[in-house]
Amino acid sequence: MTGITARREGAPLSRANPFRPGFGVSPRVLAGRDELLEEFDTALDEGPGSPLRSVLVSGARGMGKTVILNELEEAARVRGWLVVRLPETGDLVEELVSTALPMLLAEHDGERAVRRRLTGAGIAGVGSLSTTARERYEVRETAATLLARLLDVLAGHDTGLLFTLDELQAVDRESVAAFAALYQHLVRDERDVALAAAGLPVGVGKLLQHRGTTFLRRAERVQLGPLSTTEVIDALRRTVTEAGGVVSEDALLTLAEVIHGYPYLLQLAGYRAWRDADREPITVAHARATLPVLSERMGRLVHEPALRDLPQAQRSYLEAMSLDDGPSSTGAVAARLGLTAQHANVFRTRLIERELITPTGHGRVDYALPYLRDHLRRLAATE
C-alpha cells in the first residue's frame, strides 16, 4: 500500500481503491441521476420563476441524497452562482444573518470589498473575516436586507444564490418555516434564487404537513430510487478502469446483482471486490464474496436506524413478510398477523409511505430496500 502511494507523481497507475463506501462522500463516478441534474441545469438557465428551481429530494439512507445535493451545488457553481449550505442544527435564519451572508457580502460586494482590502482584513483567515464582517453589517440588519443586497450584487454578474439543506427531517420545524417565508419572498420578487433540500421520506412528509412550510410543498418532489442495472454496471466499469483496474463482464453482472441498484452498496461492493482482487483482475468470485459484508452493513447502517423509530405494528408487518423468500401476498401477511385485510392495509400503506415496502402488483408487496429480509431474519434468529 505505502509502496504504491509513495510512487512519484506522474507514475503510470495509482492503484489506490477508487470506491468510496461512506455516507456523504461523493463517488468518483456518478451513476445515473442525469435527468434530475439536467432538469436543474435547465431551471437555473430558465431564470426566476422556473418551478424546478426548488427541489425537495427524499430517499432512504445511502440512496445518494447528499451526493445529489453536492452535484446540484456544483451545477450552480459552474454557472458562477454562490451556494449557501444551511446548517442542520440551530436557527437557519440566524445563521444566515450572523455568518453566511456577512461572509459572502464581505467577499463579493465590490464596494465593501474595497474597504475590506484597505483595512487589511481580507487576507486574514475565515474566523477574523467573519468577525469583521459581523461588525460591519451587524446582526440587526435583517436577513432580508442582506439577501437583497447580495442578490443585487449577483444580478450585476447575472448569477444567483442556491440554498442547500441536508437532513431536512432533523431540522427544527419553526426554523424551516422561518426560512421558507424568507425564501418565498425572494421567489415572489423574482430574484435569482434556488433551493435544494434533502431528507428521509417520512421526516420530509411530516415537515410538509406543518403549516409554515406549505410553500415547500410546491417544490419539485424527487424520490430518489434505485439505479438501473445498466447505470450500476457503467459506473462500476468506469470507476475500475479509470483507476487502472480490470474487471470481467461476468463480474460486473454479479456485482450488479448483489448491489440491487443501491448507491451505497455500489461503493461498498466495488470497494471490497477491488480490495480482494489485490491488483489482479476482478472476477465473479471476488464479486460473490462481497455478499455477506453487504448484507451485514446494510442491516447495521441502514435498516437498524430505519427500524428504530418504527411503530411496533408496522414492524410486525415487516417481520411477517420475512417468512417469504420473495414478494408477499398481502392476504397471507394479514392472516399471519391475525388481522382483517382492511386493518393490515393501514400498516401496508404506512410502510409504503416510509418507502420501506413497495406494491408489486396482484395484491403483493416486497421490501423496497435490499437485505431487509436478511436483517429481519437475523434478528428473529437471535431472539
383 vs 381: CA distance, rounded Å:
6
Q: Which residues are at the interface with Mg ion (CB under 5 A)?
A: 65-66
Task: Indicate the residue among 245 and 263 with the shorter CB distance to ligand ADP.
Answer: 263
Nearest to 310, CA basis, from 203, 210, 383, 172: 203
Indicate the pairing of strand 193-199 with strand 54-58. parallel
Task: Indicate the residue among 40 and 137 with the shorter CB distance to ligand ADP.
Answer: 40
130 vs 136: CA distance, rounded Å:
10
Return the residue nearest ligand ADP (CB atom). 64
Per CB under 6 A, which region of 58-66, 311-319, 328-336, 338-346 contacts ligand ADP? Answer: 58-66
226 vs 103: CA distance, rounded Å:
38
Per CB under 6 A, which region of 61-69, 107-115, 137-145, 316-324 contacts ligand ADP? Answer: 61-69
> Is the distance from CB of 293 to CB of 258 less than 8 angstroms?
no
> What pairs with residue 56 in β-bridges?
197, 221
Q: How far is the CB of 329 from ligand ADP (least distance, A)?
A: 31
Per CB under 6 A, which region of 26-34, 155-163, 346-354, 363-371 contacts ligand ADP? Answer: 26-34
Task: Indicate the residue among 32 and 299 with the shorter CB distance to ligand ADP.
Answer: 32
Nearest to 42, CA basis, from 55, 30, 60, 32: 55
Query: Does 112 interact with ligand ADP (rule: CB under 6 A)?
Result: no
Task: Indicate the residue among 31 and 321 with the shorter CB distance to ligand ADP.
Answer: 31
Angle in degrees, 0-180, between the axes of helices 312-321 and 372-382, rounded to the nearest 10: 100
Residue in the structure block whose three cell numbers are 411503530 = 311
Of the candidate residues 27, 102, 199, 226, the single one contacting ligand ADP (CB under 6 A): 27
Per CB under 6 A, which region of 5-13, 55-63, 132-140, 286-294 contacts ligand ADP? Answer: 55-63
314 vs 258: CA distance, rounded Å:
26
Which of positions 248-307 make contact with ligand ADP (CB under 6 A)? 263-264, 266-267
- Residue ranges binding ligand ADP (CB under 6 A): 20-27, 30-33, 59, 61-67, 235, 263-264, 266-267
